[in-house]
Chains A and B, each alone.
Chain A
Amino acid sequence: MIFNIVRKELKSMFASPMGWIILAIFTALFGSLYLNGVNGYFEVMSGAVRPAERVGVTQFVGQTVYGWAFLVVLFAVPLLSMRLISEERRSQTLPFLFSAPLSLTEIVLGKFIGLVAFLSILILYIALMLCTLNIWSDIDFGFIVANSLGLFLLIASASAVGLYFSSLTSQPVAAAVMTFITLIALIFMDRIFAGDPTNTISQLSLMRHFQAFSTGLIDSADVSYFLLVIMMFLVLTIRRLDAERLRG
């Protein structure tokens, strides 16, 4: 049943211009970042004489591309997640889902997976682009896998946050603004507390936990942090929708 909701979400995402525009913009962005990375690699490496200064092409280009990937989280997620529930509430289509034989958990999970699946197109696309380096070089696939997984978890966490804010209001724009602000706070939390790296609050930062992935390291602590964030916001969303049914 969840799969049917996922299909429905993907269908309406591809039926609206927003989805296509976001795919197009980010494809262009990551495409140019990739080209810049490849060009820059030869310039920088020809200047680097000592072996310690030399890095592999995967890491060099990969870091250029994945370094900017948080833009997807910051801009694409709020724009796409805002409509998930609040748009349905505004156009009064929620009863369509609520009166179908589906539990709230299935509805929320379906919408969440739908959004993450849509954004995974970008993750896959970036990974494939980096794999093309393999044509003339020997690349480090592990590095790409770790980065892709990190980006996937980052996007999934942000989507869960966006889904929750979308369930709070019937105004998609309000949901997008709230999601955007929360994501900025979560992403740059570690920068704010940069002076004191042991600060507990900075541990909450999404980017801090993404850093390990971006060096090619899959740390179970970071994975569990992302999973906890996702679970917490999904549960909050379900509870919020349930409260609506109970209190009206």
Chain B
Amino acid sequence: MTNLTVEAIELTRLYGGRPAVSDVSFNLTKGQVLGFLGPNGAGKSTTMKMLTGNLAPSAGSVKICGIDMIENPKEAKALIGYLPEMRPLYKELTVDEYLTIAARLHRVTGKHIKKAVENAKERCGLSHMSKRLIENLSNGYQQRVGIAQAIIHSPMVVILDEPTVGLDPIQIRDIRALIREIGGEHSVILSTHILPEVEMVCDHVQIIDKGKLVFNGGIDVLKRQRVGNKLLLGFNKAPTVAELLKIKGITEAEAVDANMMRIRFADGADDNKVAHEAIVQAAVKNKWGLFQIAPDHTSLEDVFVQLTYQDNAADTA
């Protein structure tokens, strides 16, 4: 239990009687990177505001390293670094001035301030921008300053709301590497709607839709749903489903259209290789006219849509 950095217990937030977030509970342990996914208006930012004490929950509680956010807000907030969706930057200040203020407000003691600022700048690739006014920095660099202020006091928990929005691909790659690096020593929660990003940096995923948690689990669970055990086959003279199922290792088969078939293997990598070969041989033998064989990735988007769609269907039913 000592490793728990964030505990959210039945968080609920009402806006004028309408729940924006309802009954969201989860735990985060040290060294984990949690991805927070959801369509627009699902309640991601609201949840993050509650986690950081910017918004009081209507019900439920938040504990940061065992410290209750409502009872001991100052102690709990000292353990958090937060980058909101809109970067909270004082544009009339220089990078150094701004980061110094951030360090001071987050209780970094006098003699360590300089070191903390240098360290944060170095980690975010800002060292050569020290004396520039934040106003004059590009969007991507401003984002880096935002991240720098969130990690300046080496908090236990770093919460980033859509950290890669508006960045160019190289910067996105840098920031992702940085998030992974931070995730090594601290816990990170980041929200995004870019699905591949979640796969790249997170080891835990939560999908939230209409204020409710619809998925909460490891990234490998999500990945398994989409890679590895499915093939998309193209035949000129397509066999029947029954014929395909006779091949050893195939557990499921369905016709996509007149020429395309989708099949699923039993789990286990070794069987797959044998089964692949068996399919090709069967196709040659029976003259099915095989012209395509490719792994079928259900995209993460599909999984995502499926999860959020099921919820919608349940609502309307």
Is A132 in contact with chain B by the CB < 8 A criterion? no
Contact A15 B104, beta carbon cutoff 8 Å: no
- A15→B106 contact, CB < 8 A: no
Contact B105 A97, beta carbon cutoff 8 Å: yes
Bound-state CA distance A91–B105 (Å) is: 19
Q: Answer whether A103 and B74 are a contact pair too, CB < 8 Å, given A4-B105, A11-B101, A93-B88.
A: yes
**Given known contacts A8-B101, A94-B88, A96-B149, A15 and B93 CB-to-CB distance under 8 angstroms:** yes
Cβ contacts B78-97/A at 8 Å (1 or 0 each): 10101010111111110001
Q: Is B19 interfacial (CB-CB < 8 Å)?
A: no
User: Does B107 lie at the interface of the complex (its beta carbon under 8 Å from any beta carbon of A)?
Assistant: yes
Q: Least Cβ distance of A195 to chain B in Å?
A: 49
Known contacts being A12-B92, A95-B54, A245-B56, is A101 close to B84, with CB within 8 Å? no
Chain B residue with the shortest CB-CB distance to A92: B86
Contact A99 B80 (CB under 8 A): yes
Chain A CB within 8 A of B200 CB: no
Q: Find chain B residues with CB under 8 A from A15 CB.
A: 92-93
Which residue in chain B gives the minimum CB-CB distance to A5? B105
Assuming the contacts A93-B88, A95-B54, A99-B82, asked whether A248 and B15 have C-beta atoms less than 8 A apart, the reply is yes
Q: Given A15-B93, A103-B74, A95–B88 Cβ distance below 8 Å?
A: yes
Report the contact-size class of chain B (Cβ under 8 Å from the partner): 20 to 34
Q: A12 to B86, alpha carbons, bound, how many Å?
A: 20
**Contacts A246-B56, A248-B55 hold; do A100 and B88 have CB atoms under 8 A apart?**
no
Question: How many positions in chain A have a CB within 8 Å of any CB in the partner chain?
Answer: 25
A102 contacts chain B at the CB level, 8 A cutoff: yes
The residues of A that contact B22 with a CB separation of less than 8 Å are none
Of residues B52, B78, B84, which shows the largest number of chain A Cβ atoms within 10 Å of its Cβ? B84
B63 at the interface (CB under 8 A from A): no
| Nearest CB of chain A from residue B223's CB, rounded to whole Å | 33
Determine whether B77 belongs to the interface, using a CB cutoff of 8 Å to chain A. Answer: yes
Contact B55 A101 (CB under 8 A): no
- Asked if A98 is at the interface of the complex by the 8 Å CB criterion, the answer is yes
Query: Considering only CB atoms, which chain A residue lies closest to B80 in the complex?
Result: A99
B220 vs chain A, min Cβ distance (A):
32
Tell me the minimal C-beta distance from B53 to chain A in angstroms. Answer: 6
B53 CB contacts on chain A under 8 angstroms:
98-99
Q: How many residue-residue contacts, CB under 8 A, span A and B? A: 75
* A101→B106 contact, CB < 8 A: yes
B181 at the interface (CB under 8 A from A): no
Q: A12 to B84, Cβ gap below 8 A? A: no
The B-contacting residues of A in range 24-63, CB under 8 angstroms, are none
User: Are the CB atoms of A98 and B54 closer together than 8 Å?
Assistant: yes
A242's nearest neighbour on chain B, judged by CB, is B56
Q: Is B166 an interface residue (CB 8 A)?
A: no
Please tell me if A220 contacts chain B, counting CB pairs below 8 Å.
Answer: no
CB pair A92–B92 under 8 Å, yes or no, is no
Interface string of A88-119 (1 = CB under 8 A from B): 00011111111111110000000000000000
Interface contact A99-B97, CB-CB below 8 Å: no
User: Among the listed A5, A102, A245, which residue makes an inter-chain contact with B74, where contact means beta carbons less than 8 Å apart?
Assistant: A102
Complex CA–CA separation, A210 to B73 (angstroms): 41
Q: Would you call A198 an interface residue if the criterion is a C-beta within 8 Å of the partner chain's C-beta atoms? A: no
Type the 1/0 row for B1-33, where 1 means its CB is closer than 8 Å to any CB of A. Answer: 000000000000101000000000000000000
Which of A12, A92, A102 is within 8 Å of B105, CB to CB? A102
Chain B residue nearest to A15 in the complex (CB)? B92
B75, CB-defined interface residue at 8 Å: yes
A16 within 8 A of B: yes
Question: Which residues of chain A have C-beta atoms less than 8 A from B102's C-beta?
Answer: 96, 100
Query: How far is the CB of B101 from the nearest CB of chain A, in Å?
Result: 5
Given the complex of chains A and B, what is the CA–CA distance between A102 and B102 in angstroms?
12
In the complex, which residues of chain B have a beta carbon less than 8 angstroms from the beta carbon of A248? Answer: 13, 15, 55
Q: Compute how far the CA of A5 lies from the CA of B56 in the bound complex, rounded to whole angstroms.
A: 23
Q: Which residues of A contact B15 (CB under 8 A)?
A: 248
Choose among B73, B80, B88, B107 the residue that contacts A103 (Cβ–Cβ < 8 A).
B73
One of B91, B107, B149 near A101 (C-beta < 8 A)? B107
Q: Residue-by-residue, is B25-54 near A (CB-CB < 8 Å gives 1, otherwise 0)?
A: 000000000000000000000000100111
State whether B54 touches A93 (Cβ < 8 A): no
Quick one: which of B91, B93, B106, B149 contacts A91, CB cutoff 8 A?
A: B91
Assembly CA distance A71 to B153 (angstroms): 44
Alpha-carbon distance A91/B82, docked complex (angstroms):
16
B20 → A minimal CB distance (Å) = 9
B-side contacts of A97, CB under 8 Å: 105
In B108-127, which residues have CB < 8 Å from any A CB? none
Report 19 cross-chain contacts, Cβ distance below 8 Å, ordered by A residue. Answer: A1-B105, A4-B101, A5-B105, A15-B92, A91-B91, A93-B89, A94-B88, A95-B52, A95-B82, A98-B52, A98-B54, A99-B53, A101-B73, A101-B74, A101-B75, A101-B107, A246-B56, A248-B15, A248-B55
Apart from the given pairs A91-B91, A248-B55, 15 other A-B contacts in the complex at a CB distance below 8 Å: A5-B105, A11-B97, A12-B90, A15-B93, A95-B82, A96-B105, A98-B53, A98-B54, A100-B102, A100-B106, A101-B75, A101-B78, A103-B73, A245-B55, A245-B56
